[in-house]
């Protein structure tokens, strides 16, 4: 792997860095305070082609590689985790529609997603099904030329503002994972209801809600892919490098804040950056963040090269999420009591960091995936 970025990749990263600094960062605290999805900001990201930048140009994308996408995600995550997560969601859902949707669905939906005009949510987690995705209880029953969906989903990101939701449901509970399929449900479909926004500790402002399906009827062609569980797993595998990049971005932002604070905070007549205890914290943070970034780049590079990347994506997601938690914790420690106040962004970073060890497969699930890959190859 060549660690030198191409001119195009550097240009993409620089564009995202400017946008994050000039447009996203000034809004981040307000988005967190109000916990409201910023639709206008999302449209501005659409003007730059960010929501579906990896899609082919024929569907409104830019056809960029996975590494470029990770570079963009890292820069935006430095400014706002919830804003950045909407882009990860957009790529996930767009990939499912592109890979498994009909040509008519692709032509109708993907260009609108690319411009930020429309948003597609993803309903997987349920009140009784999280890490064990195969145990989902939402059902889909075929009735003539339609599928009838019944059930409930939790933590559906962007549900409050979505135009469609991709719902995972089982057509046969006895088959467990083999019975799972994915269905495209337009907003406004009778029997589809969106609940009240969930009050979250962190990642506030991403429009996460429960969604309910009571006799929700969709056309038979709205089933996306004949093997739903593999669709889900492929989607999650593809997203994990992006989730890792997001964790790296947040960790880097925490490090940058800690470094700046350590240089200006005076104790015992000198900046605390001159004390070895603080220097060691900064050194450990810098090393771990760089290592997490390299694991993320490796996973993206393997995907771009057409190589198997499942284990690499889990390596990156596991390590980056754990590094993010440690980095934000140490950054707050360097800030001392001031880090607990909302006057400094580290307080928001601290609340946002924990989710990285949970979503798109917990740290425990990543270890299971990695162990399975290791044993399969032995």
pLDDT value of residue 378: 52
Task: Based on the fold, state whether residues 51 and 69 are members of the same structural domain.
Answer: yes
3-state secondary structure 202-250: CCCCCCCEEEEEEEEEEEHHHEECCCHHHHHHHHHHHHHHHHHHHHHHH
- Report pLDDT digits (tens) over 140-166: 999 999 999 999 999 999 999 999 999
pLDDT at 202 over 90: yes
pLDDT at 178 over 90: no
CA distances, 60 to each of 106, 118, 207 (Å): 10, 13, 24
pLDDT value of residue 2: 76
The domain boundary residue, chosen from 226, 247, 271: 226
Mean pLDDT, range 341-354, rounded to an integer = 97
pLDDT value of residue 46: 96
Domain holding 35: CATH number? 1.10.540.10
Q: Which one is catalytic: 47, 257, 360, 364?
A: 360
Burial 239-270 (b: 16+ CB within 10 A, else e): bbbbbbbbbbbbbbbbbebbbebbeebeeeee
Task: Based on the fold, state whether residues 18 and 114 are members of the same structural domain.
Answer: yes
pLDDT value of residue 173: 86
Share of the chain above pLDDT 90, in %: 88
Query: How many domains is the chain partitioned into structurally?
Result: 3
Domain holding 200: CATH number? 2.40.110.10
What does R_g of the chain's alpha carbons equal in angstroms? 21
The domain boundary residue, chosen from 85, 118, 151: 118
- 93 sits in which H/E element: helix 81-100
* 189 found inside a domain: yes
Q: Nearest to residue 208, comparing CAs of 324, 86, 363?
A: 86
Q: Where are the beta strands (DSSP E) in 69-163?
A: 120-123, 139-143, 146-156
pLDDT at 44 over 90: yes
- Report pLDDT digits (tens) over 79-138: 999 999 999 999 999 999 998 899 999 999 999 999 999 999 999 999 987 777 778 899
Provide the 3-class DSSP secondary structure of residue 56. Answer: coil
**pTM metric for this prediction:** 0.94
Mean pLDDT, range 267-275, rounded to an integer = 97
- 270 sits in which H/E element: strand 270-271
* 2 found inside a domain: no
Mean pLDDT, range 23-39, rounded to an integer = 96
Annotated catalytic residue 360: yes
The domain boundary residue, chosen from 194, 226, 258: 226
Half-sphere exposure of 326 (CA within 13 A, CB side): 16
Q: Where are the beta strands (DSSP E) in 75-163?
A: 120-123, 139-143, 146-156
**Enclosing domain of residue 332:** 229-377
pLDDT band at 342 (very low <50, low <70, confident <90, very high): very high
Provide the 3-class DSSP secondary structure of residue 123. Answer: strand
Domain holding 297: CATH number? 1.20.140.10
């Amino acid at each position: 792997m060549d660690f030198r970025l191409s001119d195009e990749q550097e240009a993409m990263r620089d564009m995202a860095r400017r946008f994050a600094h000039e447009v996203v960062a000034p809004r981040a605290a307000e988005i967190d305070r109000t916990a409201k999805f910023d639709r206008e900001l999302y449209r501005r990201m659409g003007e730059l082609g960010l929501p579906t930048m990896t899609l082919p140009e024929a569907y409104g994308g830019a056809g960029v590689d996975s590494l470029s996408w990770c570079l963009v995600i890292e820069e935006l995550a430095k400014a706002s985790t919830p804003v950045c997560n909407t882009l990860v969601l957009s790529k996930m859902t767009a990939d499912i529609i592109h890979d498994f949707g009909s040509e008519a669905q692709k032509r109708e939906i993907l260009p609108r997603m690319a411009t930020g005009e429309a948003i597609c949510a993803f309903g997987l987690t349920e009140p009784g099904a999280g890490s064990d995705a195969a145990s989902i209880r939402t059902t889909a029953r075929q009735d003539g030329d339609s599928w009838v969906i019944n059930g409930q989903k939790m933590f559906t990101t962007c549900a409050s503002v979505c135009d469609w939701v991709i719902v995972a449901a089982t057509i046969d509970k006895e088959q467990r994972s083999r019975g799972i399929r994915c269905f495209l449900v337009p907003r406004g479909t009778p029997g589809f209801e969106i609940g009240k926004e969930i009050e979250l500790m962190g990642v506030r402002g991403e429009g996460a809600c429960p969604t309910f399906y009571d006799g929700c009827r969709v056309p038979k062609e709205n089933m996306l892919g004949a093997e739903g569980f593999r669709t889900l797993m492929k989607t999650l595998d593809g997203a994990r490098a992006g989730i890792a990049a997001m964790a790296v971005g947040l960790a880097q932002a925490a490090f940058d804040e800690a470094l700046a604070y350590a240089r200006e905070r005076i104790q015992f007549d000198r900046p605390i950056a001159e004390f070895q205890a603080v220097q060691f914290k900064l050194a450990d943070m810098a090393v771990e963040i760089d290592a997490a970034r390299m694991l993320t780049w490796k996973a993206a590079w393997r995907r771009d090269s057409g190589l198997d990347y499942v284990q690499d994506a889990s390596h990156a997601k596991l390590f980056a999420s754990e590094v993010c938690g440690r980095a934000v914790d140490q950054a707050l420690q360097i800030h001392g009591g001031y880090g607990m106040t909302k006057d400094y962004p580290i307080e928001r970073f601290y609340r946002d960091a924990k989710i990285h060890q949970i979503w798109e497969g917990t740290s425990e699930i990543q270890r299971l995936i990695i162990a399975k890959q290791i044993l399969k190859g032995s």
